[in-house]
């Protein structure tokens, strides 16, 4: 009888452990939070240029995006994908400030796509 209870408890514990393994956020989900997903937008070059001017991107990256405090972005599309650029603008990186609170996700996505086409 005692043995039967013990194996019952053990079985429940194993089942709980398996359920937890699947319900707790895995590594993949955590990585996704670190890498925000870019919303899909239709690229609008004029709007992107306006954001880049108004948000002071050009004060660090140069009025022709030729680089200043920040790196040259004239051929950034050959190095980074739109998603990667989206992540950098959203979260910031090193001396690059985060624009998460200043711009809408769609605006960042538009600028990211515009920059990604610069090759
Ligand atoms: C305060 C100065 C500053 C402002 C404002 C700024 N950046 Fe940056 N940016 C930087 C710096 C510095 C880096 C380099 C970060 C690093 O790699 O450590 C950078 C990196 C980047 C990169 C990645 C370049 C690469 O070669 O890896 C992109 C893309 C970028 N900025 C776009 C933008 C856009 C778009 C804006 C406006 C919404 C903006 N930046 C505003 C300073 C700035």
- Helix intervals (H) in 1-118: 2-23, 27-34, 45-54, 57-61, 82-91, 105-116
Which carries the bigger pLDDT value, residue 40 or residue 23? Answer: 40
For residue 72, give the ligand 1 atom closest to its CA: 26
pLDDT in tens, 61-115: 999 999 999 999 999 999 999 999 999 999 999 999 999 999 999 999 999 999 9
Q: Does the beta carbon of 57 sit less than 6 angstroms from any atom of ligand 1?
A: yes
pLDDT tens-digit profile of 20-36?
Answer: 777 776 655 555 557 88
pLDDT number for residue 17: 82
The CA–CA distances, whole Å, from 94 to 3, 11, 20, 89 equal 60, 50, 37, 11
Nearest CA to ligand 1 atom 8: 96
* Beta partners for residue 96, in sequence order: 93
* Closest of 80, 86, 78 to residue 110, by C-alpha: 86
Tell me if 61 is assigned to a ligand binding site. yes
């Amino acid at each position: 009888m005692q043995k039967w209870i013990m194996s019952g408890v053990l079985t429940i514990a194993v089942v709980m452990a398996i359920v937890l393994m699947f319900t707790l956020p895995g590594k993949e989900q955590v990585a996704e939070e670190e890498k925000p997903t870019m919303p899909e937008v239709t690229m609008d070059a004029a709007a992107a240029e306006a954001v880049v001017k108004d948000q002071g991107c050009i004060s660090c990256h140069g009025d022709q995006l030729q680089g200043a405090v920040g790196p040259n972005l004239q051929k950034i599309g050959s190095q980074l994908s739109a998603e990667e650029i989206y992540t950098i603008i959203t979260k910031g990186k090193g001396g690059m400030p985060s624009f998460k609170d200043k711009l809408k996700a769609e605006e960042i996505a538009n600028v990211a796509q515009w920059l990604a086409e610069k090759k």
